[in-house]
Amino acid sequence: MKKILVTGAGGFIGGHLVSRLMQENYKITCVDIKSFDNWFQIFDKNINHSLDLNNLNSCLNVTKDMDYVFNLACNMGGMGFIENNKAECMLSVLINTNLLNASKINKVERYFYSSSACVYNAKKQNYSNITGLKEEDAYPADPEDGYGWEKLFSERMCRHFKEDYGLDVRVVRFHNVYGPLGTFSGGREKAPAAICRKIAHAKITNQKKIDVWGDGEQTRSFMYINDCIEGILKIFFSNFSDPINLGSSEQITINKLVDIVENIANYKIKKNYLLDKPKGVRGRSSDNILIKNILNWEPDTKISIGLNTTYSWIYDELINNKSNSKFTN
């Protein structure tokens, strides 16, 4: 029985990954800095720890006797959080540094690092209708300030641990993951969850408009969580160790995202554009040529299908929360 460590297990992607891994014959240890009552998903069958992995001793303890490590732990959120907490985001480099060192010392067989599309050169993302970003577009380096630099630096650390110490690594660049059982309020949520929440809240409270950050013509690609988990496992158990995109190639504007959720909710609203809010790059989507060549697969859940499930979950969460007035724009 292989022993697996999942860090960031109390988070959105981590919780779904653990749930999927439990379907296989693995012994799973889950770690997150949050207290257990703040984990999105927690399973008594596993070994669960609430620990700060900025501490090397904690990393040494949880990686002992592990075969595989999935590192999804970092301090992150949506664009509002990333742009206003650059130093805090960069401190996540300590987690990856300590986990890599601990994995080397404890002779971990394979190590997974969750990177981000925020590593890509900003100059290649100045227009709404851009071609998908290829893996080589991360260089020359000009990533998202703070969060993107931390991710790019940590990618390089993984590469050099492979070259210098023989640690078998997998590095995956996530493009905007969404779905149920994740953050949808509080400032760390990403655009799909935020828009689902705003429209659901507007419908529940009979409001007629929502705030949209920017002019709504920014483009992104959004990957449903089931595709994300499938891709993680396919890449992890492949023989490919260089950084690779994991994202949908279905590029849409934020305005279109709002329109789709309106149709799902069967509730029309007006868009109140906030041009002074953080907007990120103008356009970003995933080029999937490499992942299709390596795996003969790519994420393919249409945004309308994934948003239907996501909106329904968020709507139910708001309905079941007695003080849903706190979920503002």
Sheet holding 26-32, edge to edge: 47-50, 26-32, 2-7, 68-71, 110-116, 168-174, 244-246
pLDDT attached to residue 75: 84
Stretch 236-259: mean pLDDT: 97
CA distance 271 to 279: 16
Please indicate, yes or no, whether residues 215 and 233 belong to a single structural domain of this protein.
no
- 78, pLDDT greater than 80: no
Residues spanned by the domain of 281: 178-221+250-285+301-326
> Active-site residue numbers?
147
Q: Which three-class secondary structure state does DSSP give residue 231?
A: helix
- 327, pLDDT greater than 50: no
Please indicate, yes or no, whether residues 161 and 234 belong to a single structural domain of this protein.
yes
CA distance 170 to 325: 43
Only one residue has tokens 């641990």, namely: 161
Please indicate, yes or no, whether residues 70 and 189 belong to a single structural domain of this protein.
no
Distances in whole angstroms, Cα of residue 28 to Cα of each of 11, 15, 23, 46, 52: 16, 12, 11, 6, 18
Q: 271: pLDDT confidence band, cut at 50, 70 and 90?
A: very high
Please indicate, yes or no, whether residues 203 and 191 belong to a single structural domain of this protein.
yes
CA distance 172 to 108: 18
- 322, pLDDT greater than 70: no
Pairing state of beta strands 209-213 and 270-274? parallel
CA distance 6 to 25: 15
Distances in whole angstroms, Cα of residue 167 to Cα of each of 71, 85, 108, 158: 14, 31, 7, 8
Q: pTM of the prediction?
A: 0.94
The domain total for the chain is: 2
Phi and psi angles of residue 321, each rounded to the nearest 5 degrees, phi first = -95, 120
Indicate the helix (H) or strand (E) that contains 110: strand 110-116
Stretch 290-302: mean pLDDT: 97
Please indicate, yes or no, whether residues 191 and 256 belong to a single structural domain of this protein.
yes
Chain-wide mean pLDDT for the chain? 94
Please indicate, yes or no, whether residues 47 and 115 belong to a single structural domain of this protein.
yes
Q: Is residue 138 part of a domain?
A: yes
Please indicate, yes or no, whether residues 280 and 314 belong to a single structural domain of this protein.
yes
Please indicate, yes or no, whether residues 193 and 141 belong to a single structural domain of this protein.
no
Q: Is residue 292 part of a domain?
A: no
Q: 248: pLDDT confidence band, cut at 50, 70 and 90?
A: very high
- CATH number for the domain spanning 171: value is 3.40.50.720
Q: Is residue 217 part of a domain?
A: yes
Q: 79: pLDDT confidence band, cut at 50, 70 and 90?
A: confident
CA distance 72 to 264: 31
Q: 328: pLDDT confidence band, cut at 50, 70 and 90?
A: very low
Q: 258 Cβ partners below 8 Å, 6+ apart? A: 195, 199, 210, 212, 216, 269, 271
Burial class (CB in 10 A: 0-12, 13-18, 19+), 23: exposed
- 91, pLDDT greater than 60: yes
Q: Is residue 90 part of a domain?
A: yes
Stretch 202-227: mean pLDDT: 96
Please indicate, yes or no, whether residues 189 and 163 belong to a single structural domain of this protein.
no
Q: What is the pLDDT of residues 137-192, one digit of tens each?
A: 999 999 999 999 999 999 999 999 999 999 999 999 999 999 999 999 988 899 99
Q: What is the pLDDT of residues 27-76, one digit of tens each?
A: 999 999 999 999 999 999 999 999 999 999 999 999 999 999 999 999 87
Please indicate, yes or no, whether residues 38 and 184 belong to a single structural domain of this protein.
no
Q: 16: pLDDT confidence band, cut at 50, 70 and 90?
A: very high
pLDDT attached to residue 127: 87
pLDDT attached to residue 197: 97
- CATH number for the domain spanning 319: value is 3.90.25.10
Q: Is residue 295 part of a domain?
A: no
Q: Which regions of 162-240 does DSSP assign to beta strands (E)? A: 168-174, 177-178, 209-213, 219-221, 223-224
CB of 121 closer than 8 Å to CB of 139: yes
Please indicate, yes or no, whether residues 111 and 182 belong to a single structural domain of this protein.
no
Please indicate, yes or no, whether residues 229 and 81 belong to a single structural domain of this protein.
yes
Share of the chain above pLDDT 90, in %: 89
The token pair that represents 80 in the structure block: 């509002």
